[in-house]
Amino acid sequence: MKEKKFEPVIVGFFCNWCTSAAADLAGTSRLHYPPNIRPIRVMCSSTVDPVYMIRALQEGADATILGGCHPGDCHYITGNYKARRRIAIVKTVLKSLEFDDDRVLLEWISGSEGPKFARVMNEYTEYIRNKGPSDFKYLDSLGGEEVE
């Protein structure tokens, strides 16, 4: 039997005004992006407490993406600047504890950037696929490989 290839699960938090619109545009433009992405539409990238991203990783997601409007284009004027600070915080916490901080991604994709949306999703899925499954979901569990 052929060995089953690892397919990552990636949870995406996409802002309503830009990245979600870009996802729609990518769809209507018939651009292919991988089914590994599980999009969640949020009103603004700044409404996502990074704890929810950590939690997604702990529940078994292999990576998470936060998608927002380009800096300066936020529908709520300053939301994405705050989101950027939060991502900086969560990535620093993960890095400092020697977790894999590449599994949290922040991307700016505006409503007209359907092709960019498809490209980013393809690239990131490929990147995580090469990286392999996340160890994070075994936090506070009995499973998972022993790390040396």
Partner 1 sequence: MNENEMLKKLMVDAFEKGLIEAVMAPAATKDSYTYALITKKEDVDKLTPIAPVMQWNGADMLRRITRLKKSERKLLAILRPCEARTYKELVKFNQVNPENIIVLSYDCPGTIHARTYKYQPTGIDELIAEIKKGGKSNKIREACKVCEYPTPIPNVGDIGLGLVNTDSPVFFALSDKGKEFLKAMGIEEGSRNADEWIAMHRKIREEWYEKERIRGGRKGLEEFLSSCLNCHNCKNMCPICFCKECFFEDRTVFDYESTKFFNWADDKDGIRLPTDKALFHIGRLIHMGTSCIGCGLCQQACPMDIPLYRLFGIVGNELQKVFDYKPGVDDAIPPVMDFREDELHEFEGLLGGEE
Q: Contact residues for partner 1 (CB under 8 A)?
A: 49-51, 54-55, 58-60, 71-72, 78, 81-82, 84-93, 95-100, 102, 105-108, 123-124, 127, 135-144, 146-147
Name 21's Cβ contacts closer than 8 Å, sequence gap at least 6.
Answer: 111
Quick one: tokens of 42?
């949020």
Closest by CA to 105, choosing from 121, 82, 119, is 121
Q: Which residues contact 119 (CB under 8 A, 6 or more apart)?
A: none
Quote the least distance from Cβ 28 to partner 1, whole Å.
Answer: 23
Is 32 or 70 the residue whose CB approaches partner 1 more closely? Answer: 70
Q: Which is nearer to partner 1, 23 or 87 (CB)?
A: 87
We find the least distance from the C-beta atom of residue 67 to partner 1, in angstroms, to be 11
Q: Give the CA distances from residue 128 to residues 44, 64, 103, 134, in Å, rounded to whole numbers and listed in that order.
A: 25, 10, 8, 9
Q: Which is nearer to partner 1, 25 or 116 (CB)?
A: 116
Token pair of 21, please? 């619109």
Minimum distance from residue 16 beta carbon to partner 1 (Å): 20
Q: Closest distance between partner 1 and the C-beta of residue 12, in Å?
A: 14
Q: Which is nearer to partner 1, 40 or 139 (CB)?
A: 139
The one-letter amino acid code at 106 reads: L
